[in-house]
Amino acid sequence: MFTMKIVLLTLLQLFVFTRCENEPKIIIIGAGPAGIAAASKLYQNNITNVKILEAENRIGGRIHSVKFGDAIVDLGAEWYSGGDDTDVYETIKESNLTEPTCFTQIFYHSSGKRIDHGIITELLNIFEEIQQVAVEAKEGVTVEDHIKEKYSAKIRERYKDNSEMLEFASDFLEVIRKEVTILHGAFSWGDVSAKSDHEEPAENNWLNWKGRGFKTILDVLMQNCPDPSKELPLEIILNKEVKIITWDDDEVTVECFDGSSYKADHVIVTVSLGVLKNRYQTLFNPELPENKKNAIEELGIAAVAKIFFYFPTRWWLQADLKSIGLFWTELDQVEFLQQFGTDKHWLLDLPIFYPVTNNPSVLEAFLGGKSVPQIELLSDDEIIDGIMLVLNKFVGNEFKNITKPTEILRYNWYSNPHFRGTYSYQTIQSRRRKVSAETALSEPLTGKNRKMTLLFAGEATNPTHYGSVYGALETGYREAQRLLDIYKTV
């Protein structure tokens, strides 16, 4: 018995020793969901010589949860729209961390009247039907042309005996356009391909985090939630912006803007498509192969703007405020710009204010479209003055005492050099090649001796779930698995 124990111990030590000897050095660039998912999977499988280098002074990337008002708000990803096939999802469900979000949109007319909810529901359902059969879209057609065609055919048919309704439904297409630019994060719905590889996850409930913020998922990934004693000791170095990755040697060298440099056997790059577009020519040495450059150039990424407002005196009466949708007539738009100046044009891109979960004094404005870069440059006062004009115009009749917000919170995703956009989408150009652009982007590169040195994860490398946190997680797991397949099967 005694000897048995010693033999076992020696064997174990030998095993541990050899494993440490062989343990690969891995560097992950970016501490967003993809990077953290990759690191945590490697750790869970006993590959622990892993460093994450992060340019920002915080982790999370495009998950950015900040205290505001009475709870935490999400400047980046807000609703988990994922499937039931990741471990994370299981933990989230079991731990009761989220709840499905019910979006009820109440629309107001630019004349200040509330629009009948039945009518809006009918039109949004038509839009929904078109979305659901998007697989039938033709290759080479933009989302704009596809929706316009399908939508007008449907409303012409449905309202052929009601000219007033037909006219309203046709004007409502503008609202749909604005919501579509938000959905895809594109500056124009003409930039997005109608046919796409995007697949809806099996279970999509738009889960919200009950006022605790999407960052809760990072705690789940790092295993410090629900049980903090199980936290993985991930090594994350903040304020480390990577400048050049030299990847063709046996070891990869990562040089940072602060002059420091790191060596590793493998590097997993998780920076956004926006960062790649902006920097791929100098970030990689040697430069990337042609198929990757094409993918980076041809895939799309632009931005949305989310702005949170805190009203110390809540002017909306019902505790369960539904979102406030804005329907403009063309004439009202012209008059509005004449009265308040064309620099207020960005307000016409704003389709909706949302209430915020567990945050009764906060409203969130959500907008997309060409104005987004300009909005990022506006001062807080200009933004507050602008939304006060719009709120008074649309809901001033219904709510008599609209007060001014005393605080505002937003984040410049488009101009921030560590993001350069919000989420990626497929353009028509990105779909013209045999291999999908996301797949091309996801393929690892090999250096000397055919050693796999440079790996790619991140939202835009997911062939079917790009654009989401869920999709980003999947790519992190995928690249971790790729490395585990090398080291754990021997």
Ligand X SMILES: *[C@@H]1O[C@H](CO)[C@@H](O)[C@H](O)[C@H]1NC(C)=O
Which residues contact ligand FAD by CB under 6 A?
Answer: 29-35, 53-56, 61-63, 76-79, 81, 240-242, 270-272, 275, 304, 306, 413, 418-419, 422-423, 458-459, 467-470, 472
Closest to ligand FAD by CB, 225 or 269:
269
The span from the CA of 342 to the CA of 336, in Å, is: 9
Which of ligand FAD, ligand X, none sits in contact with 304, Cβ below 5 to 8 A by type? Answer: ligand FAD
Residue 185: which region, alpha, beta or left (left: phi > 0; alpha: psi -120 to 50)? Answer: left
Closest to ligand X by CB, 92 or 252:
92
Shortest CB 10 distance to ligand FAD, Å: 42
Which of ligand X, ligand FAD, none sits in contact with 34, Cβ below 5 to 8 A by type? Answer: ligand FAD
Shortest CB 358 distance to ligand X, Å: 9
Closest to ligand X by CB, 139 or 235:
235
Closest to ligand X by CB, 140 or 312:
312
The span from the CA of 29 to the CA of 34, in Å, is: 10
Structure token pair of residue 220? 């789940």
Shortest CB 475 distance to ligand FAD, Å: 7
The span from the CA of 45 to the CA of 482, in Å, is: 12
Long-range contacts of 387-391 (CB under 8 A, 24+ apart): 387/307, 387/309, 387/347, 387/350, 389/336, 389/340, 389/344, 389/347, 390/326, 390/347, 390/350, 391/324, 391/353
Shortest CB 11 distance to ligand X, Å: 12
Closest to ligand FAD by CB, 76 or 386:
76
Shortest CB 71 distance to ligand X, Å: 12
Which residues lie below 8 Å from residue 118, measured CB to CB, with a gap of 6+? none
Per DSSP, the three-state class of 46 is: coil
Neighbours of 412 (CB within 10 A): 15
Structure token pair of residue 460? 């835009």
User: Taking CB positions, which residue lies at the least distance from ligand FAD?
Assistant: 32
Under DSSP, the state recorded for 431 is G
Report the largest interatomic distance among the alpha carbons of the chain, rounded to a whole angstrom: 93
Transcribe 74-102 into DSSP letters.
Answer: ESS--SB---S-SHHHHHHHHTT--EE--
Shortest CB 22 distance to ligand X, Å: 14
Closest to ligand FAD by CB, 123 or 460:
460
Which of ligand FAD, ligand X, none sits in contact with 218, Cβ below 5 to 8 A by type? Answer: none
Which of ligand X, ligand FAD, none sits in contact with 49, Cβ below 5 to 8 A by type? Answer: none
Identify whether the C-beta of residue 166 lies closer than 8 Å to the C-beta of residue 195.
no
Closest to ligand X by CB, 231 or 330:
231
The span from the CA of 443 to the CA of 201, in Å, is: 23
The binding site for ligand X (CB under 6 A) comprises: 45-46, 96, 210, 400-401
Which of ligand FAD, ligand X, none sits in contact with 261, Cβ below 5 to 8 A by type? Answer: none
Which of ligand FAD, ligand X, none sits in contact with 81, Cβ below 5 to 8 A by type? Answer: ligand FAD
Shortest CB 250 distance to ligand FAD, Å: 23
Which of ligand FAD, ligand X, none sits in contact with 299, Cβ below 5 to 8 A by type? Answer: none
* C-alpha pair distances (Å), 270 with each of 28, 39, 76, 79, 442: 7, 12, 17, 21, 10
Closest to ligand FAD by CB, 168 or 308:
308
Which of ligand X, ligand FAD, none sits in contact with 242, Cβ below 5 to 8 A by type? Answer: ligand FAD
Q: Which helix (H) or strand (E) is 118 found in, with range? A: helix 117-132
Which of ligand X, ligand FAD, none sits in contact with 418, Cβ below 5 to 8 A by type? Answer: ligand FAD
Give the CA count within 13 Å in the CB-facing half-sphere of 303.
Answer: 23
Shortest CB 62 distance to ligand X, Å: 25
Shortest CB 210 distance to ligand X, Å: 5
The span from the CA of 197 to the CA of 435, in Å, is: 12
The span from the CA of 91 to the CA of 80, in Å, is: 13
Closest to ligand FAD by CB, 327 or 366:
366
Closest to ligand X by CB, 46 or 406:
46
Which of ligand X, ligand FAD, none sits in contact with 184, Cβ below 5 to 8 A by type? Answer: none
Which of ligand FAD, ligand X, none sits in contact with 54, Cβ below 5 to 8 A by type? Answer: ligand FAD
Closest to ligand FAD by CB, 167 or 258:
258
Shortest CB 294 distance to ligand FAD, Å: 20
Structure token pair of residue 426? 């497929």
Amino acid at 271: V
Burial, 465: exposed, middle or buried (Cβ in 10 Å; 0-12, 13-18, 19+)? buried
Shortest CB 96 distance to ligand X, Å: 4
